[in-house]
A and B are shown apart, each in its own frame.
Chain A
């Protein structure tokens, strides 16, 4: 049973004998935190001392409705200005984790978010998660201070570095701002890229001369006009002929499968998607870093029907920003392909097409809904249902085996952990559409993703999507939790609900300290940590001399105790009964008190072995619930 945060933390502190009698102070949120969070916004003004470059930029961010900023101190002038302008701001423990949090916030809302770090060290700490955001096509504004131009090439003082080359290949647009009076102009560049076409990270670095420049009137700023002038909401649309071609191909297909990628979510096109799919009984599976824009529990969902994927005779990719190659998706070698994408240059990349259409996803789906004649495909719908039943039975079979292993070893098998999480969040008293979830880790992710569900837009995050980073998961879901806490976009109906992350002992090391951040902002996170004492890929060391030690941690580490030391709750479980109790207590604490919990699920690394502990670890079919590559 968990102890209250603060009390448990006492175990970590060795006190001199003279202080033994003095009570150890509890972990507490400084009064300045709620006080400053409740202050009214105070944007810069040209009056008096005028506006700083940072304030000009912050004003633009506010007008562009930047949804949130996650940062560590550093880049002080800019982050202070953005917070003061009224953009929701969060300060955390590492820049990398804050970058992941910003990504997570965006993944469950589709909104533009920002992260920020200082000069060289803070900025370079973000690199892994900028790359993850780039792979996920997240509209992420990466901000960093960058010393002064006056010190360029002199290695003046500390932290000198050229940032822009370091984000080469992992950004959509980047610029070191070198002309102070163009700060607004380049802010516009940033948001044109963040809000137009296929999104991706935008990296701006601010030398001191730009951030601290002063402007007493707008006349000295270049291109100082509003967003309605510096960018357009116009989107590309398919011609009537192209829509009709697509409609004809779909109508002729016996078993069409629509793969609704991130673009469908990003463009909030789920209602149009529903019209299209239901009009002709088209199977739908989502792809990308977020799930739920097609509900898993819909009769036309193929997300939990991997056996049916190979039956599709036509695949329609819509908004699939990161394209797989044939052979990476479980589709028949003879399947025909349509791809709808907002950028012409990407059509035909990786996957040869029978029809490529340049169009905004929402515009195309709305047009297609009007062009498609109604049609029933009972056999296809029946095959989806049969495949879904087979998948669910396989999951239950894995659970039964896992339960046997758990009882025999006194350690919890990942299939058991995953099913218990599933039953608690989707089969009990909680609205199965409510809880935003994410999963990561290797063994953990492969098992958990088979059981996590997305029944409405923005309900689930594929934390490791495409880039495969192990570690950002917890921080990413704290960011997602912040979006739920604020009720942003599709999270509005579930405002304030707890968020869930299921990840690994390897992964949690990268962002566990952000439990402090979750506590500080009262973002309720239930983090289930599968603790198998190792990196998931330990089997690759089995036959290699002098190698295994590199894959192992100390056994039985107490992540739950560490969480308590950070102001969260901790739970330690090894049995089904303990797991059920821990979930109940964790949820109650999250829902009623806004308190986060880390549930340390003690396991064995050997559960990975199919020989000793069948079913072993299985790769999941893509696309579908377990997909993370595309």
Chain B
């Protein structure tokens, strides 16, 4: 098992690597175990390392009520990312769950013994949320209402 210090430094590097790849439009470290990134739809996302060692992004999709159809659909989507039916290179093999807090949908991942892998898969899950999940016709009204979607404001 790798040391906590090593894991912390490695997470910094991993996230900086995404920023250098242009995945994040902006990136900064916001304190111990807390990172901010400007990402999809020019929104700020916050990644936190929780006291129990889990990594969490509390707001992945804003304005999604806990008991809504959309939350149910999102849970199913995230579960699908961990499905054994997916090709091995696409499957998320850590425990990743959807959280509902303050009217938002978030993601939380248990790192197991490989924090780098867990964080990378969390990033992948958010990425697929915005590039796959929200592209379903059932999400169109949500896009319009939540992100002021119009043809002038797609990216």
- Identify which of A254, A332, A618 contacts B137 (C-beta below 8 A): A618
Is there a chain B Cβ closer than 8 Å to A540's Cβ?
yes
Is there a chain B Cβ closer than 8 Å to A280's Cβ?
no
The B interface is mostly helix, strand or loop, or mixed, namely helix
Chain A residues near B145 (CB-CB < 8 A): 543
Bound CA span A540–B154, Å: 14
Chain B residues near A609 (CB-CB < 8 A): 141
Which of chain B's residues has its CB closest to A621's CB?
Answer: B135
Chain B residues near A328 (CB-CB < 8 A): 155
Chain B residues near A616 (CB-CB < 8 A): 137-138, 140-141
Instruction: Give min CB distance, A594 to chain B, whole Å.
Output: 35
Instruction: Give min CB distance, B37 to chain A, whole Å.
Output: 11
Which of chain A's residues has its CB closest to B89's CB?
Answer: A311
Among listed B18-26, B54-62, B99-107, interface-contacting one? B18-26
Bound CA span A398–B139, Å: 15
Which of chain A's residues has its CB closest to B134's CB?
Answer: A619
Residues of chain B in range 83-112 having any CB-CB distance to chain A below 8 Å? 87, 89-90
Instruction: Give min CB distance, B99 to chain A, whole Å.
Output: 21
Do residues A540 and B138 form an inter-chain contact, with CB atoms below 8 A? no
Is there a chain B Cβ closer than 8 Å to A25's Cβ?
no
Is there a chain A Cβ closer than 8 Å to B35's Cβ?
no
Residues of chain A in range 330-377 having any CB-CB distance to chain B below 8 Å? 330, 332-334, 350-352
Do residues A310 and B21 form an inter-chain contact, with CB atoms below 8 A? no
Do residues B89 and A352 form an inter-chain contact, with CB atoms below 8 A? no
Chain B residues near A539 (CB-CB < 8 A): 140-141, 144
Do residues A618 and B136 form an inter-chain contact, with CB atoms below 8 A? yes
Chain A residues near B39 (CB-CB < 8 A): 327
Instruction: Give min CB distance, B109 to chain A, whole Å.
Output: 15
Do residues A310 and B22 form an inter-chain contact, with CB atoms below 8 A? no
Bound CA span A172–B21, Å: 30
- Identify which of A313, A332, A537, A618 contacts B127 (C-beta below 8 A): A332
- Identify which of A330, A334, A442 contacts B132 (C-beta below 8 A): A330
Which of chain A's residues has its CB closest to B20's CB?
Answer: A352
Chain A residues near B22 (CB-CB < 8 A): 325-326, 350-352
Chain A residues near B137 (CB-CB < 8 A): 398, 610, 614-618
Is there a chain A Cβ closer than 8 Å to B120's Cβ?
yes
Is there a chain B Cβ closer than 8 Å to A605's Cβ?
no
Chain B residues near A334 (CB-CB < 8 A): 21, 120, 124
Is there a chain A Cβ closer than 8 Å to B5's Cβ?
no
Do residues B21 and A333 form an inter-chain contact, with CB atoms below 8 A? yes
Chain B residues near A619 (CB-CB < 8 A): 134-135, 140, 143, 154
Instruction: Give min CB distance, B140 to chain A, whole Å.
Output: 5
Bound CA span A350–B141, Å: 29
Chain A residues near B50 (CB-CB < 8 A): none
- Identify which of B120, B135, B140, B152 contacts A620 (C-beta below 8 A): B135
Is there a chain A Cβ closer than 8 Å to B151's Cβ?
yes
Instruction: Give min CB distance, A308 to chain B, whole Å.
Output: 9
- Identify which of A333, A442, A615, A621 contacts B18 (C-beta below 8 A): A333
Is there a chain B Cβ closer than 8 Å to A383's Cβ?
yes
Bound CA span A350–B123, Å: 20
Which of chain A's residues has its CB closest to B139's CB?
Answer: A610
Is there a chain A Cβ closer than 8 Å to B128's Cβ?
yes
Instruction: Give min CB distance, B87 to chain A, whole Å.
Output: 6
Bound CA span A334–B21, Å: 8
Do residues A330 and B131 form an inter-chain contact, with CB atoms below 8 A? yes
Do residues B140 and A618 form an inter-chain contact, with CB atoms below 8 A? yes
Do residues A614 and B138 form an inter-chain contact, with CB atoms below 8 A? yes
Is there a chain B Cβ closer than 8 Å to A241's Cβ?
no
Do residues A537 and B150 form an inter-chain contact, with CB atoms below 8 A? yes
A310 and B128 in contact, given A326-B23, A334-B120 (Cβ under 8 angstroms): yes
Chain A residues near B154 (CB-CB < 8 A): 619, 629
Chain A residues near B139 (CB-CB < 8 A): 610
Chain B residues near A313 (CB-CB < 8 A): 89
Residues of chain A in range 585-619 having any CB-CB distance to chain B below 8 Å? 608-611, 614-619
- Identify which of B124, B135, B151 contacts A332 (C-beta below 8 A): B124
Chain A residues near B144 (CB-CB < 8 A): 539-540
Bound CA span A618–B123, Å: 24
- Identify which of A327, A468, A618 contacts B131 (C-beta below 8 A): A327
Q: Mark A295-322, 1 if CB is under 8 A from B, else 0.
A: 0000000000000001101000000000
Chain B residues near A330 (CB-CB < 8 A): 131-132
Do residues B150 and A540 form an inter-chain contact, with CB atoms below 8 A? yes
Chain B residues near A615 (CB-CB < 8 A): 136-138
Which of chain A's residues has its CB closest to B87's CB?
Answer: A383
Which of chain B's residues has its CB closest to A326's CB?
Answer: B22
Bound CA span A147–B39, Å: 50
Which of chain A's residues has its CB closest to B123's CB?
Answer: A333
Bound CA span A299–B103, Å: 45
Chain B residues near A543 (CB-CB < 8 A): 145
Do residues B90 and A310 form an inter-chain contact, with CB atoms below 8 A? yes
Instruction: Give min CB distance, A225 to chain B, whole Å.
Output: 46
Bound CA span A329–B154, Å: 12
Bound CA span A378–B150, Å: 40
Bound CA span A330–B143, Å: 17
Chain A residues near B90 (CB-CB < 8 A): 310-311
- Identify which of A333, A351, A398, A610 contacts B124 (C-beta below 8 A): A333
Instruction: Give min CB distance, B26 to chain A, whole Å.
Output: 12
Chain A residues near B140 (CB-CB < 8 A): 539, 608, 610, 616-619
Is there a chain A Cβ closer than 8 Å to B34's Cβ?
no
Residues of chain A in range 250-279 having any CB-CB distance to chain B below 8 Å? 254-255
Instruction: Give min CB distance, A470 to chain B, whole Å.
Output: 8
Bound CA span A468–B23, Å: 24
Is there a chain A Cβ closer than 8 Å to B36's Cβ?
no
A621 and B141 in contact, given A537-B150, A629-B154 (Cβ under 8 angstroms): no
Chain B residues near A350 (CB-CB < 8 A): 22
Bound CA span A543–B128, Å: 29
A327 and B138 in contact, given A255-B89, A334-B21, A352-B22 (Cβ under 8 angstroms): no
Residues of chain A in range 504-545 having any CB-CB distance to chain B below 8 Å? 537, 539-540, 543
Instruction: Give min CB distance, B77 to chain A, whole Å.
Output: 13
Can you identify 11 A-B contacts, CB atoms within 8 angstroms? A311-B90, A326-B21, A326-B23, A332-B127, A334-B120, A350-B22, A610-B138, A617-B140, A618-B137, A621-B131, A629-B154
Excluding A539-B140, A610-B139, A614-B137, 15 further A-B contacts by CB distance (< 8 Å) are A310-B128, A325-B155, A327-B39, A327-B130, A334-B120, A352-B22, A383-B87, A442-B151, A468-B151, A537-B151, A543-B145, A616-B137, A618-B135, A619-B135, A619-B140
User: Which B residues are within 8 Å of any A CB, using their own CB?
Assistant: 18, 20-23, 25, 39-40, 87, 89-90, 120, 123-124, 127-128, 130-132, 134-141, 143-145, 148-152, 154-155
